[in-house]
Structure 1
Amino acid sequence: MKKVVIYARVSTAEQAEEGYSIDAQIDTVQRKCELENRQVINKYIDRGISGKSIEKRDALKRLLKDAEKEEFEEVWVWKTNRLARNHLDLLKIVDKLSKFNVDFKSCSEAFDTSTPTGKLMMNLLASVGEFERETIVENVKMGMKQRAKMGKWNGGIVLGYRSIKFGQDKEKTRLEIIEEEAEIVRMIFELYASGRGLRSLVNHINQLGYKTKKGNMFAIATIKEILQNPIYIGKIRYNRMQNWNEKRRKGKNSNPIIVEGEHDPIINTDLWNKVQKIYKERSKKPIRNFSGSYPLTGLLKCPECGSSMVAGVTKKKRKDGTYNVHKYYYCGNWRNKGIAACHSNSIRKDNIEETVFKKISEVLYDKSILEDLVIKINKKSKEIIKPLENQLNHIERELRALETKKSKVFELYEDGIISKQDLAERLKETAQKIETELLKKESIQRQLNKTTSDPIDYHVIELLMSKFNNILHEASVEKKKLVLNLIVQKIKVNPDRTLNSIILNFDHKTKRYLVNEEDESAIDSSSFNVSLEINFK
């Protein structure tokens, strides 16, 4: 009897559809495996995750890792789109499985990847599936675009308005003014029109205690978005970003749809025009009177609020007309949200950078410190792994007991001891318990994936630290910044601005980057993951 595993996935949107539910997929595949005389030894489940890419699918990564260990012979799914919606991703996954002598099978599509004909059939079905998905996406986009051209709201949250349903059709919505929030919007426009700068405006609004739609403090970016949103003069703006998923903010559309909306305006056109004129004048880039990079931006953490620290300068004019420039790292919260959020907590750029790079070098060249760090890592890893493995074993026993209970409930129904209603209620209760245990199992497996069970070799850490140190002292500014962001998780600072600790993280990607290993596959199942915390007294 062949040993097989089941892979199931459901996205957030699909969770509402009974046919796509995890239980439905598992039951269908399990019955098919029984008919085919297969022994199901494990189930890998990704919940609430899109099949568009494989990046965030922890269960799939575990499956590939276990396939490499040759723990099973086949992977079964309900449909091919459960494994991947993207044709290229599907081919990569199936190709990787075949390298480990693992076949791929689907309950809904009759093909067998162990044969050339089956592989051809899989390619054809995957191409059709991807075409269907892209067609649905395109049709939805067209519908939303047409709604926008008619002045209708396409959804989303915006300060000053709420979306309400109206009429007989439950799908029809329109925007309604929330007067309490509209007052904040008017205040923002009026203060900016009166000459307030963005930072001053943010500071003022936050000190008054006003909050955004999500209950957060206002930031400069939030204020900018409000000042540039034509929704507040009764217009609908749509398609401001093109191909948002692929390009994000780089895909800005120079000609978005802007039409008269069905909703009431919050501010008048004169105030809007005045604000846009001022904003345009202030948006001209000023001449920079200083140069240089800030490699620790985002890595340094504010000693007061813990937010990332950002670049900043102070300039003082000398008698000869030149400027005395001092470079600092400031609290990002203070910079973006003002004194109501935090204080500047400024740190001299040159001082902190010299200290950080010097401390990293000291650790590298002091063998006893590095050895002690490696011993602590391995000890901590053991302390973490053992309890997690015990919890996992307990959950596995619970799941087996629940599956047995489920079978017994069916037997009671078949013997006429319980009614159909009792059967449904008991199965529902058992399914909920199984769901809870599976969620616990996934959480523990994610933690185990982040913690390597094999002892870390001192020489591996020494090599990585050496390469890291070389880059810090010899590489270009751009490369130095890239590597710092890859490896340094955070740099903590004491209230007196002295260095508290540096937390480094080396995983398979950074390891490969530092030692120039070849990327054998787009899907890496390596579990190498080391967190190194360097503390300073």
Structure 2
Amino acid sequence: MKIAAAYIRVSTDDQTEYSPTVQLDDILEFAKKNDYHIPKEFIFTDEGISGRTAEKRPAFQSMIRAARKKTNHIDAILVHKYDRFSRNKDDAVLYKALLKKDGVKVISIKEPIPQDDKFAVIYESMLEAMAEYYSLNLSEEVKKTMRKKAENGDYQARAPFGYRNDKKSLVIHPEEAEMVRYVFESYANGVSIFALTRELNQRGFRTIRGNQWEFRTVRYLLNNVTYHGYARWTPSGKTDWGYDIPAAIVAKGSWEPIIDDDLWERVQERYTQQQRRHYPHKRPDTEGIHWLSGKVKCSSCGRSLVISRQYVRGGFEMQCGGYNHGQCHVSHSVSSNRLIPAILDTLRQIADSPDTQAVNFSIRTNNTNSGEIDAISAMIHRTQQKIIKAKEAYLAGIDTIDEYRETKRTSEKEISELQERLSALSEEQTFDADAFSKKVRNVLLTISGDSSMDDKKSAFSEIVEKVVYDKAANSIRLFLID
């Protein structure tokens, strides 16, 4: 009996004809009639995902990996129709070619094509082209519908902070709406966006996606016409930070505004005046130019310290990037004239005596068996997932209690053996203090000499994973790599 994998995809819940259950039942029936065996672990399903892009379909990618793995001995991939495999002709050709190299055929159970017929190549290409045409045409139709809804003032996106979705409209979230009014009023009265960002985070508020507030998200809030009672829809689906997009459709919505006309106008007037005094945002010229860039971390939030300004007489000041964006509440400003000598002095002491207790540091020893360790760790994770899936199968009534117990017993035994091997490999690592001291001295020579900044950065990165700066304790801790 030949082994096959089943791939099932449905892009929307209302596609009854192509529901996962219908597709799977038809595929299993086809497999039974055509002498194919489909193991449970070779049934892959992407639900609510478009077939336009293969990279965005996790089950599809897992199916391709499984099919190309020689030890699985998969002979074919069964799909309901070829458009379930892909609605993008380029993707279809690419992945079918990869599978063909491994001797794996893609078979549509509803579009039978004789595998040895020369006409099959043309016919299959026609089906793929028709699937892509359907997808492109559907995309255009969806966009037309969205445009019509936008002109009617229907809200078509996830509700912003301060609201919750309610069919085609929005309802106010009282606590968040109060904060929105506070932000607008404070900004209109002269409070900076930076200060408002910090206050939102300090008071425990999170964005609608559960993230901390940033300068740009507060700026967007102040320019979001939804709070003024209007819906804005952009055909491209993207909104730049100018907010004045000619192609955008702005229409009066049916929901209650949080911000009245007077406050909205005052905020927009102040924002426009501020924009005239500022250049478009760009990354600072100082970013990434020093061998310390990206290596010094804030002890409060863990983010990198960035160069905030350079001194006229040389040197620079660093500050926590999170603090600069209002996401960290503790300033970690420090002068390079203090920080660099402290780091170099610590490295010199470590070079003289790697086991010294006089300075605050730790060494992560590289393991020559790191590749095998990573592989075993991955195997342990996969086996743990196997137990979880077996339990789900039992609870769903797919497997019996005896089948679940046997899977759990063999899997736990396998995990135990893998963990023993992992422990043995970890114990094999060694640390050569003399060799490490020599390595640190060479790095010191490089970063203290006339080498280029790139060479200094490379040398420093060879031995230093990160430097944690604690301003309150006036201390640094080096995390080194052997």
Q: Compute the TM-score of the two structures, normalised by the length of structure 2.
A: 0.68
CA distance in 1, matches of 2:379, 2:163: 52
2:33 pairs, out of 20, 27, 35, with: 35
Matching residue's letter, 2:260: N
Shift of the 277–325 alpha-carbon distance from structure 1 to 2, 3 Å rule, reads farther
The answer for the alignment partner of 1:430 in structure 2 is: 398
Contact kept in structure 2, 1:112 and 1:119, CA below 8 Å: no
State the Cα distance separating 1:102 from its structure 2 match: 2.1
Residue 373 in structure 1 maps to residue 366 in structure 2: yes
Shift of the 20–275 alpha-carbon distance from structure 1 to 2, 3 Å rule, reads same
State the Cα distance separating 1:10 from its structure 2 match: 4.4
CA distance in 1, matches of 2:154, 2:283: 47
CA distance in 2, matches of 1:180, 1:267: 14
The answer for the alignment partner of 2:6 in structure 1 is: 6
What is the identity percentage for the equivalent residue pairs of Structure 1 and Structure 2?
Answer: 24
The answer for the alignment partner of 1:345 in structure 2 is: 332
State the Cα distance separating 1:268 from its structure 2 match: 3.0
The answer for the alignment partner of 1:258 in structure 2 is: 250
The answer for the alignment partner of 1:26 in structure 2 is: 24
State the Cα distance separating 1:218 from its structure 2 match: 3.1
Superposed CA deviations along residues 269-324 of structure 1, whole A, max 9, x for unmatched, are 33322322221222243599983332787786543223x336341467xxxxx687
Residue 153 in structure 1 maps to residue 143 in structure 2: no
The answer for the alignment partner of 2:468 in structure 1 is: 493
The answer for the alignment partner of 2:225 in structure 1 is: 230
State the Cα distance separating 1:106 from its structure 2 match: 0.8
State the Cα distance separating 1:377 from its structure 2 match: 1.0
2:285 pairs, out of 276, 286, 291, with: 291
The answer for the alignment partner of 1:129 in structure 2 is: 131
State the Cα distance separating 1:394 from its structure 2 match: 6.3
Contact kept in structure 2, 1:237 and 1:258, CA below 8 Å: yes
Shift of the 103–293 alpha-carbon distance from structure 1 to 2, 3 Å rule, reads same
Shift of the 297–371 alpha-carbon distance from structure 1 to 2, 3 Å rule, reads closer
State the Cα distance separating 1:140 from its structure 2 match: 2.0
Shift of the 285–392 alpha-carbon distance from structure 1 to 2, 3 Å rule, reads closer
CA distance in 2, matches of 1:97, 1:258: 48
CA distance in 2, matches of 1:104, 1:329: 56
Superposed CA deviations along residues 218-274 of structure 1, whole A, max 9, x for unmatched, are 3222211111112222322111x6154xx9989994431123333333333333223
Shift of the 260–62 alpha-carbon distance from structure 1 to 2, 3 Å rule, reads closer
The answer for the alignment partner of 2:433 in structure 1 is: none
Shift of the 212–38 alpha-carbon distance from structure 1 to 2, 3 Å rule, reads closer
1:330 pairs, out of 320, 324, 340, with: 320
Matching residue's letter, 1:377: S
- SS of equivalent to 2:398: helix
State the Cα distance separating 1:153 from its structure 2 match: 2.1
CA distance in 2, matches of 1:371, 1:208: 38
CA distance in 2, matches of 1:276, 1:323: 41
1:384 pairs, out of 364, 377, 387, with: 377
Deviates more, 1:54-63 or 1:153-162: 54-63
Segments of 5+ residues of structure 1 without an aligned counterpart are 166-172, 317-321, 363-369, 403-425, 441-452, 456-468, 502-533
State the Cα distance separating 1:93 from its structure 2 match: 0.5
Shift of the 198–79 alpha-carbon distance from structure 1 to 2, 3 Å rule, reads same
Shift of the 185–499 alpha-carbon distance from structure 1 to 2, 3 Å rule, reads same
- SS of equivalent to 1:311: strand
Shift of the 32–252 alpha-carbon distance from structure 1 to 2, 3 Å rule, reads farther
Shift of the 74–271 alpha-carbon distance from structure 1 to 2, 3 Å rule, reads same
Shift of the 34–225 alpha-carbon distance from structure 1 to 2, 3 Å rule, reads same
State the Cα distance separating 1:325 from its structure 2 match: 6.5
CA distance in 1, matches of 2:400, 2:136: 34
Q: Compute the TM-score of the two structures, normalised by the length of structure 1.
A: 0.62
CA distance in 1, matches of 2:224, 2:138: 29
The answer for the alignment partner of 1:142 in structure 2 is: 144
Shift of the 342–18 alpha-carbon distance from structure 1 to 2, 3 Å rule, reads farther
The answer for the alignment partner of 1:242 in structure 2 is: 236
Shift of the 7–174 alpha-carbon distance from structure 1 to 2, 3 Å rule, reads closer
Map 1:495-510 to 2 at 5 A: 495=470, 496-500=475-479
